[in-house]
Amino acid sequence: MDLTTAHLADACIRAGVPVRCASLTSVEPGHRVSGRVLPARHVGSVDVFLEAFETAEPGDVLVVDNDGRTDESCVGDLVVLEARSAGLAGVVIRGLHRDTADIRAIGLPVFSAGTMPTGPLSIRARPEDALERASFGEWTVSREDVVFGDDDGVVFVPAAQLDRVIELAEGIRDTERRQAELIRDGESLRSQVRFDAFLKRREQNPGLTFRDHLRAVGGAIEE
């Protein structure tokens, strides 16, 4: 898809869909991923991932919830290799990974919060819904969601709203591309969005927001 996570996040705002993002980094800069969420809540053992792969469908993305822990890694090269063998499109981790060089060599997109040499430090009690949902801070995602990742991080979109969000994201992308091209050709962004008119209208209506003005003139630099 020729869409970025920024386009999709802005489209969620416009569609009235909660914006569920996570500031994760691709192990290999430039990698992108998209696919249905395959959740797995890690509790210290790799078996939860292997069990998730048993029911995975090609193109799914393993979404690992390790509570955002920063004292251990929870995914290494063997899990990533197995994910690729199972036909997954990538791995997204709320936590840390290790075996960075080997993961880069595998080539499967992996997004995490960083690296840590040590693996799991303990075995915790496994919740009954370990393969049904994953948490990212205040957000909970499941197989009813689709995840997208690129160099800006990841964003989760409800599958039921995906067509609408993509349609809006494509419109935002196209508008921004036209705006960028005009700037390169010498027409300032202020001129394109009629910023002088916004300032005059705001004098008459102090409650007017720039976002409202952009919607009126067809801009797309915010949402």
Strand partners, 79: none
Helix (H/G/I), strand (E/B), else coil: 218: coil
- Check whether 201 is labelled as a binding-site residue: no
- Check whether 77 is labelled as a binding-site residue: yes
- Check whether 99 is labelled as a binding-site residue: yes
Expressed in angstroms, the distance from the first to the final Cα of the chain is 19
CA distance 127 to 150: 30
Residue 65 to residues 43, 134, 143, 202: CA-CA distances in angstroms? 9, 5, 14, 46
Largest CA distance in the chain: 63
- Within a 10 A sphere around the Cβ of 170, how many other Cβ atoms? 15
- Check whether 98 is labelled as a binding-site residue: yes
Helix (H/G/I), strand (E/B), else coil: 200: helix
- Check whether 173 is labelled as a binding-site residue: no
Q: Residues comprising the binding site for substrate?
A: 76-79, 98
Q: Residues comprising the binding site?
A: 76-79, 98-99
Q: Residues comprising the binding site for Mg(2+)?
A: 99
